[in-house]
Structures are given as C-alpha cells and as structure tokens.
Amino acid sequence: MRVKLWGVRGSIPVPGPGAAGFGGNTSCVGISTDDGCELILDAGTGIRELGVALAGRCRHVHVLLTHLHFDHIQGLMFFAPLFDPAAEVTVWGPPAAGRALRERLARFISNPLCPVEIRELPARVHFKDTPSSPWRLDGLEIKASLVAHRGPTLGYRVTDETGSLCYLPDHEPGLGQDLATATPGWISGHALASGASLLIHDCQYADAEYGPHRGWGHSRLSDALVFAKRADAARTVLFHHAPEHDDVRLDEIASEAASRWADGGNGGAIEMAREGRVIELHA
Amino acid sequence: MDEVDQPEEQPLELILARNLISIISLAAVLVDTEGALVYYNEAAAEAIGSRFEERGRISRAEWSAELGPFDAEGRPIPYEQLPLTNALRDGRPASGRFFMGVEGGLLEIVASALPLVGPNGNNGAMVVFWPVPADQEG
C-alpha cells in the first residue's frame, strides 16, 4: 500500500511561507491501489492537486469522507474527476438521521455557496452511506466506525496484504476519560487503530492550548501520544495541524512529541504529518 | 463477571454516554441490546451495592435476580414490562415507577430509559433512576 498525504492541515487552508514546510492544504490522503487508481480519504483542499495528478489514470474513483465539516469537503468542488464526463466518482460518507449524504453535501455544492449545482456535475457521481460492516473497494478491505468528534464522524481502517492504515483525522478519544487507564473496548477508535501498520491521528493542539477547546472534537498532543501507545501502531503520523501553528511551531511540537515518545519507552515510530509525504507499507 | 467478557468494541453511542454518566450525580446505568448492565456510575453503585470498577458487566439474569424490579407486593415485574425493555424494543424513551431490591429491602424508584439509537441502529439504552420522595410514596 502506498499512502500519500495531500493535505495535513485542520480547520482552514494556510497559504504562505510560514506553512511551506508542513503544508497548508486541509485533510486529504491518497491510497494507491494495484490498478493505478486512488482511494481517497477526505476531500479537503489537498484533493485538488490529487485530482490533477489522477488525470487520465483511472475511471472510477472512490472518495471516503470521515465527516462533512468544511475542512474535509471544501476541495470537492475543485476535484477534476467530478468535471470529467468519462469519470465515475463514488463518494462515501457517514450515515446521519434525516438527510441522505447527497442532500447534505448539496447544501455546500449549490447556490449561493457554489456556482455549480450537484446535479450539474459532468461525471457519474454516486453518494453512498458507509456500511457498518467491512466491505471491499479496489482490492482493499475497508472498515468504518463512528468515532468521538462533533457530529456523525467516521474513522477508517484500510487493509491489504501489505498492512493496515488507520485514519482518525478528527478525534477526541480523551474527552471525559483517562486514556491511559481506560479499558480498550471503551476507547473511541481503539479497535480500528489497534495494531495498525500506520496510524494517522488528530493532534490539533499542544497541551497548553487544549483547555478552551475541550469538547471541540480534537486531540491534544498528550492524548494523541497515549492513544497511539494504547493502539500499538507500528508508525504514527500526527495530523490535522492547527492553522495557527506555523512551521517553526510544528517543529517544536515534533521535537516534544519525539522526546516524550522516546521517554515513554514506546515502540514504533512517530512523526508529524507533512504535505507530500509518501509512506509505503510492505508485507 | 469481568469486562473481558464484553465485546471488543463498544458502540460510540455507549462510549459517549458512559463519559457523560460517569460525571453526573444522578444514578444512571447503561444496558446493551441484550439488557446486560455494561456500565453504571457511582450514584447507581450505591443502589447496586458494588462499584462498576470492582464488579464489571452484570448480565440481565444477574441483575434481575438481585435488584428486581418488583411491584408494591414484592412480586417480580417481568422484564418485558419494564421501561427499559420498551425503550430497547420500540426505540422510544420510556418511564416507570416500581421497586428495586436494595440492602435487603425495597426502594421505590422512578426510572427513565433513553434508547441509544444511532445511524447503525439500536446500541442499548441509558437508564436514570431516582428514589420516589417520601411525600410521594405510593
């Protein structure tokens, strides 16, 4: 499995030289499949460049949305395959009471927020609720579960013969409990992440920043590290960087994370997500 | 019974409900779709007689034998007639008034059950209960 980070930022894109190192695009991760296509996790602004890179490569693209907060869908209207009449795009997302996924996304892809209506997209576009049990796409096994974030939000685990990727970009498992002592079955996302080859996990806040944001659905560094330790993933990538964290600040957080991870005697590797980073999983 | 006997992964609806009831002072329990107590808070532990951290999950058969509930004459109320059962079966909130066995006696309580129905269906229920005030006892 080949995983590429196309957008690693949370909340809002961050252009400018201060974010040039880690990148300013919002959440988007591409997983290359055997047939040369991509399975795409989230449609933040990073999906725009991914769509350009996909041109002419495959006809049917799957986009798996964790949830519909703006930073995870705002690249959708700039995703080239949606404007290719020869392309077929299936958008998967969390089921929710009341409105179907297509209707919920149409609130964004419609006047006055958008010049194009969802029914006008030239590609053949399908909108599907993610199943509650594992299913297969392009040779990959996908498992989705609801996780702790505001509103219906999914985490994903994608598995092939080379390993498993667990993607939890917006996740606050430490809300209301001590992650270090909680029973694993009662930790949001634990079953999805347990033993993953690669865990991509929310780390929006430094510890000192967390207080006023508790309950907003994101993790502080301490909780991200403890969750990673409890999940026992082989490699952890800290993701969904706060827009106010420039490269200098992210380097500081990276150093603190590495130091605390090593001091804790933890196995596996840990790193900060960086736009453009490619990680290959090997059997 | 130990927590090890529980399913590997609890539904998010139960996890979030546990986070909530673990910090409130009203007695509250969580039941799974089979009617087993999968969590109860400190206030409920006073009535149940042991802390969840010490005892863990309690099957439906176990808590029925220990706690009841009972009618005013001390006769067991069938599980099918409890508010909890209605909540699990119908997916709607339900309330009732009955007695539960506490420390060798009977305590009259009011209980309200809230079904935890999510996008993937029913995940169990949260039940809160409180003693009937002395001036309202039947």
A18 to chain B, closest Cα gap in Å = 37
* Residue A219 belongs to domain with CATH number: 3.60.15.10
Cβ-Cβ contacts under 8 Å, A95 against chain B: 119-120
Residues of A with CB under 8 A from a CB of B: 94-97, 129, 132, 145-148, 152, 175-177, 183-188, 190-191
pTM for the structure as a whole: 0.90
ipTM of the complex as predicted: 0.76
A221-231 vs A247-263: helix crossing angle, rounded to 10: 40
| Burial profile A19-51: b = 16 or more Cβ within 10 angstroms, e = fewer | beebbbbbbbbbbbbeeebbbbbbbbbbbbbbb
> For chain B, how many structural domains are there in total?
1
User: Domain range for residue B109?
Assistant: 3-136
**pLDDT classification of B102: cutoffs 50, 70, 90:** confident
The type of residue at A87 is: A
Which chain B residues are Cβ-neighbours of A66 within 8 angstroms?
none
In sequence order, which residues have a C-beta less than 8 Å from that of residue B4 and are 6 or more positions away? none
Per-residue pLDDT, A2: 95
- Please report residues of B whose CB lies closer than 8 A to that of A177: 18-19, 22
Interchain CB distance below 8 Å, A186 and B23: no
The whole-number average pLDDT for the span B54-75 is 91
Cβ B38 vs Cβ B10: under 8 Å: yes
Digit-coded pLDDT (tens) for A152-169: 999 999 999 999 999 999
CB contact under 8 A, B8 and A191: yes
Q: Do A148 and B16 touch (CB under 8 A)?
A: yes
**pLDDT per residue over A93-147, tens digit each?**
999 877 899 999 999 999 999 999 999 999 999 999 999 999 999 889 999 999 9
CATH of the domain at B77: 3.30.450.20
Range of the domain at A139: 2-280
Partner A contacted by B120 (CB < 8 A):
yes
CB-based contact B108:B131 (threshold 8 Å): yes
Q: How many domains does chain A have?
A: 1
Q: How many CB pairs under 8 A join A and B?
A: 48
